[in-house]
Structure 1
Amino acid sequence: MPTEAIAISTSAGHDLSGALELPTGLVRGAALFAHCFTCTKQSKAAVAVSRALAKEGIACLRFDFTGLGGSGGDFGRAGFATDVADLVAAAQHMVERFGKPILMVGHSLGGAAVLAAADDLGFEHIAAIATIGAPSDVPHVLERIEGDLNAVEQDGEGAVSIGGRDFALSREFIEKTKAIDLLGEVARVRVPLLFLHSPTDSVVGVEHATALFSAAKHPKSFVSLMDADHLLLEERDASFAARMIATWGARYIPMKDDWPMPEEGVVVQTGHGKFGTEVHTVSHSFIADEPRSYGGDDTGPTPYDLLLGALGTCTAMTMKMYADRKKWPFEGTRIYLTHERDHAEDCEHPLEEGAQVQAIKRKIVLLGDRLTEDQRARIIEIADKCPVHRTLEGHLHIHTERG
């Protein structure tokens, strides 16, 4: 999937560094991801969730808070209120670009920040909010800071360590962090909410999820991230959370009205990937792409994969229909297909000079052992009668007109 570098200007005069994960195909909606305390947009959870949303057709921006990663500003003087302001600026960018309410997602303190930012941004601009391992009280993060916070408050500034990294922390940071009534903010939220939390989270206990859930109004949902650590460092945990949020979020970001769902046949439309193309049938949508070796993003089957798939599926269906009609004990089939672009050298009959012959090789395996040899032979013979097979071997004309 394509990733676009984004710079977002803040009222404080510095830029926030962002990475926008775009769907390979068309965009059905947009989302914003807020990373955990002192993490960056490159955290495993940020990357996994934003890319999972992109696979669902939801463009997702992950960005660095003030003073972290590639963003400007002083983290030690920022505090939670600055995180909220950063989120509002980033969300406004997404709303203006994509023109519809967005999905807000936050991890750990980032989860608390998206909840606190909702009122400032305006609920009309938010489709839904999801949090991962979020604390129910913002001052909870001060417990993760190693250093003499009393001395910082008394002297105005002091050296501390957060997550093994050294920072110069200001009195303003501590005061802004202590001033937030997060549960009061949650009670005012008027959009669908999803809370994901691990019952074994040793950094932010699951009791925080209970408090958030109790304070929230319906519609609200909870997903338990069993055995996951707070930072979702295990790939399976990050992927699971990402899939849950993507599936849940898609409910609140309905497909755009201008998507080309045809009344008959198939419509294809290019998207954001280099070669990725959205394929729409009357009732389904999916992506076709090229492999990375051809310069694509490998987010879907290639055109020739689809061609082989059409022949293979039609073959299997035709054999099943025939066997069912005969009331034979057909137990299924497995079909292997490959495409050869130049088959001329294997042809025994003479060809015109420069002629190219393409071939599809098909190997059919009939599963089970209940069919007789005569029945198996007849079913294999019927395979050549499938409609797609006849189309490919017939005289096919393609008529192109300009739309």
Structure 2
Amino acid sequence: MSIETSRVSFPGADGDTLAARLDLPVGKSRGYALFAHCFTCSKDIAAARQIAGGLAAQGLAVLRFDFTGLGHSEGEFANTTFASNIQDLVAAADWMRGEGMAPALLIGHSLGGAAVLSAASHIPEVKGIATIGAPADPEHVVHNFGADLDVIERDGEADVSLAGRSFRIRKSFIDDLKTHDLEERVGNLKRDLLIFHAPLDMTVGIENAGRIFAAAKHPKSFVSLDKADHLLTRAADADYVASVIAAWAGRLVPEEAPLQIAAREGEVVVAHLGEGKFPQTILAAGHRLRADEPRNVGGDNSGPAPYDFLLAGLGACTNMTLSLYAERKGWHIDRLETRLRHSKIHADDCSSCETQAGKIDKISREIIIEGPLDAEQRQKLLEIADKCPVHRTLHSEIRIETEMVDAA
């Protein structure tokens, strides 16, 4: 399944604008997930991109965002705490709910895993939580500060180098970490829990997964990420996580079995199968197609719009007719392309139209032909374009007979 990724933003807990990306399947989403990135990382880290993209490809929409002061989000990282991260997650869920996409799944990587475990009780729609390399105690991140920890305790803050970048860490951040009893919250989750951890994780040891698993009540599952590192830098590891989450989520946000439709010989069937406001399933000549409307008019953009199909029919017929005529004449064409647009124009702007009032439909058609053709041959092909069967149908009197029949 193909996916679409769009940039969105929403206000964080303290009013700063948080930058996010929404990874959507093309078509109806069978569920929605909220992803929290690792400590001092961003929504665009490779693992976050791949996991979100992999889930979207399997029908689950994912919102991934930058916490306050990180990535493209506003605010000062130095002013944040673990508690403010939790509040940012709740703000993200609030935004999703307002867009009709309340998250059924929370996914957190490293400290983001600890954050989703803490935030779950504040997001009522959540049915399952997946953690990846999460610490059993948020205070675990303090070991990353090394000798700077003494400076922070003494001076109240310090610039700490993490993964080659400098971050200002304040004592309020460390003090806040000490107030969170994650294992107690895990014990009261009352949601499905899926724990991923790498036995060779040198950043957050595998014993953390054991503590989280022991604290959690069923249903709970553990998946060992053999040979993976903490950041899932191997694409195969991130892809595996996405595939397991998608399968696990199938029980929590089950995909409805599609209604079955069939077409008789010579018949085109268009059916609305309840997949959203506009999407239509089309059966034609043994092919299954899809029609929809663009997002700016309330559709999901999961397929061409009805007028797009009309233009496609005319364009295909034009090219076929020109190709057959050129072949019959022995004319060689290297490349043939027809571009079409549909619009509405005022009748009084068209001097050659019979209709003199209101608006009329206008189809603009551009034909591109590459090959060893002279001006006379090109002019003849231009005339032949108007003789394609679909063109003639559109210009002739059309009668459409409609009746209501019982479902068979």
> Normalized against structure 2, the TM-score is what?
0.66
- The one-letter code of the counterpart of 1:95 is R
Kindly provide the amino acid, as one letter, of the partner of residue 69 in structure 2. G
- With over 3 angstroms needed to count, the CA separation of the structure-2 counterparts of 1:143 and 1:97, relative to structure 1, is same
Q: Report the Cα offset of residue 8 of structure 1.
A: 1.5
Distance 2:94 2:164 in 1: 33
| SS state at 1:106 partner | strand
Q: Displacement of 1:356 after TM fit?
A: 6.8
Call closer, same or farther: CA 1:356–1:347 in 2, change over 3 Å.
farther
Deviation at 1:131, TM superposition (A): 0.8
Contact 2:69 2:77 in 1 (8 A): yes
Post-superposition offset of 1:98: 2.3
Aligned counterpart, 1:185: 185
Describe the superposition over 1:152-171 as per-residue Cα deviations: whole angstroms up to 9, x where unpaired: 12321122112221122111
Q: By how many angstroms is 1:111 displaced?
A: 0.6
Structure 1 residue 172 corresponds to structure 2 residue 169: no
Distance (whole Å) between structure 1 residues aligned to residue 133 and residue 101 of structure 2: 29
2:42 match:
40
Q: How does 1:149-168 map to 2 (within 5 A)?
A: 149-168=149-168
Which amino acid is the alignment partner of residue 114 of structure 1?
Answer: V
Counterpart code for 2:17: D
Query: Which whole-Å CA distance do the structure 2 matches of 1:239 and 1:287 have between them?
Result: 28
Q: What is the CA distance between 1:96 and its match in structure 2?
A: 2.8
2 CA distance for matches of 1:261 and 1:341?
Answer: 35
Q: Which piece of structure 1 moves more, 200-209 or 153-162?
A: 153-162
Which secondary structure state, in structure 1, belongs to the residue aligned with residue 13 of structure 2?
A: coil
**Per the alignment, in what secondary structure is the counterpart of residue 50 of structure 1?**
helix
The 4+ residue runs of structure 1 with deviation greater than 4 A are: 262-266, 268-272, 276-281, 286-289, 340-343, 345-350, 353-357, 399-403
CA–CA separation in structure 1 for the residues paired with 2:401 and 2:241 = 45
TM superposition shift of 1:279? 4.8
Q: Which amino acid counterpart does residue 113 of structure 2 have in structure 1?
A: G
Q: Note if 1:226 corresponds to 2:226.
A: yes
Aligned residue in 2 for 1:344: 324
Report the Cα offset of residue 74 of structure 1: 1.6
Verify the 8 A CA contact 1:26 1:270 in the aligned structure 2: no
Q: What is the CA–CA distance in structure 2 between the aligned matches of 1:114 and 1:214, rounded to whole Å?
A: 18
Shift of 1:18: 0.6
Aligned residue among 45, 49, 52 for 2:54:
52
Equivalent-residue separation in structure 2 for 1:242 and 1:65 (angstroms): 22
1:261 to 250, 259, 262: 259
For residue 208 of structure 2, what is the aligned residue in structure 1? 208
The reply to whether residue 127 of structure 1 matches residue 140 of structure 2 is no
1:71 aligns with 2:73: yes
Q: Which has the higher contact order (CA 8 A, sep 6+)?
A: 1
- RMSD across aligned C-alpha pairs, in angstroms? 3.9
Secondary structure class of the residue paired with 1:89: helix
Q: Does structure 1 retain, via aligned residues, the 8 Å contact 2:93–2:103?
A: no
Q: State the partner residue of 2:106.
A: 104
Alignment of 1:381-396 (within 5 A): none
Query: Which structure 1 segments of 5+ residues have no match?
Result: 290-298, 301-339, 358-398
* Contact preservation (8 Å) 1:146, 1:161: no
SS of 2:222's equivalent? strand
Distance 1:278 1:25, change over 3 A: farther
Q: 1:98 is paired with a residue of what secondary structure?
A: coil
Identity over aligned residues, as a percent?
41
C-alpha spacing 1:267/1:139, structure 2 compared with 1 (3 Å): same
TM-score normalized with structure 1 length: 0.67
- Does structure 2 conserve the Cα–Cα contact (< 8 Å) formed by 1:103 and 1:128? yes
The number of aligned residues is: 310
What SS class does the counterpart of residue 190 from structure 1 fall into? coil
